[in-house]
Amino acid sequence: MDFGVVLQTNPPASRVIQLSKLAEAHGFSHVWTFDSHLLWEEPYVIYSAILAETRKVVVGPFVTNPATRDWTVTASVFATLNEMYGNRTICGIGRGDSAVRVTNGKPSTLAELRESIHVIRELANSRAVEYKGSTLQFPWSQGSELDVWVAAYGPLALKLTGEVADGFILQLADLDIAAWMIKTVKDAAAAAGRDPESIDFCVAAPMYIGEDWEHMRDQCRWFGGMVGNHVADIVAKYGTDGSVPRALTDYIEGRTGYDYNSHGKSDNDHVDFVPDEIVDRFCVLGTAEEHIAKLGALRELGVTQFAGYLQHDNKEETLRVYGETVIPALREKVTAKS
């Protein structure tokens, strides 16, 4: 299992770079960031600085979307970063949440998402692609490599992921929901003639090392509100009696609205509808031993990377304990089985 961190690009950017360097020092392989250019600083500029000051970590958006950025520009950014620093980029992409909703926009359609994945991946892998009636290729790009991982929740988005994605991003760490979603993606991949085991499976959730459960929950309750935005869309489309697990849909009954100016912040003041049970199920909280147990269970479901959000007041200590205890323990268990 690989490990990533998910950061917001709040100023000063030097702090984001510092945390990225610390994450690499503690054994994390990926540094992901939010991608909402109005709410936070421009991540692609910061990626260049992160890559310049680290040796191995892979960087990318968690997640970008087809609506707010021109697809060819997105591909050019990745191909340029790869030329400058080696192939150390990855593209997480979804239909669009905070980046589009903050301007009263709408998420992209699944057809647009599918096409954007193809265009971005082909161009950023130094290949030609047909786009808007033209054959396009970066004449300056050679040997660039980029995987595209798709963030999804609903049945049709999960189906698309299985059909075309290099990886699947699930933004919650509930074991039952993860099992259902991973199976749905794998079944779609098999139906499309792909090898389901060729897809990476990334679970992302707040990670907090500590023992004060009330405090940890309050620091991470924002995450249930963020997930609730996507769940509300799913309920609007499929209702609560369809193929989506009730464990994912029931908790948003008390949801009344969402202010994107507080998106992803531990002091978010409008997520009271998120109960403690959901925080515990969706996040990874507690002692190192409790983290190891939950992540081990996720790995058994087929998860190949855990990406931990650090939007709380215990960033350095959580990274330290992961580096000294959690990551080595999980890697040792893999070695022991092999």
Three-state DSSP class for 64? strand
For residues 134-142, average pLDDT:
98
User: Which tokens sit at 132?
Assistant: 């808007």
The amino acid at residue 85 is Y
Residues 3, 308 contacting (CB under 8 angstroms): yes
- Would the pTM of this model clear 0.75, i.e. be above it? yes
| Contact predicate 242/249, CB 8 Å | no
**SS3 assignment, position 32:** strand
Q: In the chain, helix, strand, coil percent, each to 5?
A: 50, 15, 35
Residue indicated by tokens 């990476």: 200
Per-residue pLDDT reduced to its tens digit, 264-293: 455 555 577 888 998 999 999 999 999 999
pLDDT at 251 over 90: no
Q: Hey, what are 229's tokens? A: 């935005």
Query: Of 301, 274, 285, 305, which Cα lies nearest the Cα of 209?
Result: 285
Distance CA 159, CA 157 (A): 5
Confidence of residue 238 (pLDDT cuts 50, 70, 90): low
pLDDT of residue 244: 62
Task: Specify the pLDDT at position 255.
Answer: 58
Query: Using DSSP, how many helices (H) and how many strands (E) does the chain show?
Result: 13, 11
Euclidean distance between CA atoms 232 and 224, whole angstroms = 12
Give the mean model confidence (pLDDT) for residues 86-92.
98
Residue 211 CA to residue 209 CA, distance in Å, equals 7
What average pLDDT does this structure show over 301-330? Answer: 98
pLDDT over threshold 80, residue 157: yes
Cα separation, 107 vs 334, whole angstroms: 39
The pLDDT tens digits for 158-204 are 999 999 999 999 999 999 989 999 999 999 999 999 999 999 999 99
Query: Which residues does 190 contact at the CB level (< 8 Å), separation at least 6?
Result: 162, 196
Per-residue model confidence (pLDDT) at position 55: 98
